[in-house]
Amino acid sequence: MGQHTVEVNKDNFEEEVLNSDMPVVVDFWAPWCGPCQAIAPVLEELGAEYTGKVKVAKVNVDDNQELATEYQVASIPNLVFFKGGEAVDRQIGFSSKGDLENKINSL
């Protein structure tokens, strides 16, 4: 993980995501997923640019099947946008930094 993203799992998901006082972008990913690797640097940049405004979290679906199932993650990368503990938006597949900025700004 980069310094501007936080690794989350079932043990800290509630604390880091649901109880966060700022919006959270959760990246459901896996090490074997090419597009996930491609989007990781974009998320790191966004995490840096939106420090203190938006948190970027990563969930490895191989290690966290329960969370993937709970949030209906069938294909990855799958970004779920949380605000106030609720999943309010999502982006499936690779997307550009501009598209992600638009979604973040709409939070």
For the question of residue 91 being annotated catalytic, the response is no
Q: What 8-state DSSP symbol labels residue 24?
A: E
What is the structure's pLDDT at 74? 93
Rounded CA-CA distance 107/101 in Å is 10
The model carries a pTM of 0.95
Q: Say what the pLDDT of residue 38 is.
A: 95
Is 58 part of a structural domain of the chain? yes
Read off the CATH number of the domain in which 94 is found: 3.40.30.10
Q: Name the pairing type of β-strands 86-92 and 55-60.
A: unpaired
How many independent structural domains does the chain possess? Answer: 1
| Angstrom distance (rounded) from CA 54 to CA 65 | 25
Residue 58: predicted pLDDT: 97
pLDDT of residue 1: 57
| Domain-embedded: residue 11 | yes
What per-residue confidence (pLDDT) applies to 19? 98
40 and 96 Cβ atoms separated by less than 8 Å = no
Give the model's pLDDT for residue 65. 97
Low-confidence ranges of the chain (pLDDT < 50): none
Find the domain containing 80 and state its range.
Answer: 6-106
36, 56, 57, 104: which one is catalytic?
A: 36
Instruction: Quote the tokens at residue 9.
Output: 């799992």
Please give the pLDDT value at position 32: 97
Could you tell me if residue 1 is inside a domain? no
77 flagged as catalytic: no
Q: 3-state SS of 40-90? A: HHHHHHHHHHCCCCCEEEEEECCCCHHHHHHCCCCCCCEEEEEECCEEEEE
Which entry of 2, 30, 33, 71 is annotated as an active-site residue?
33
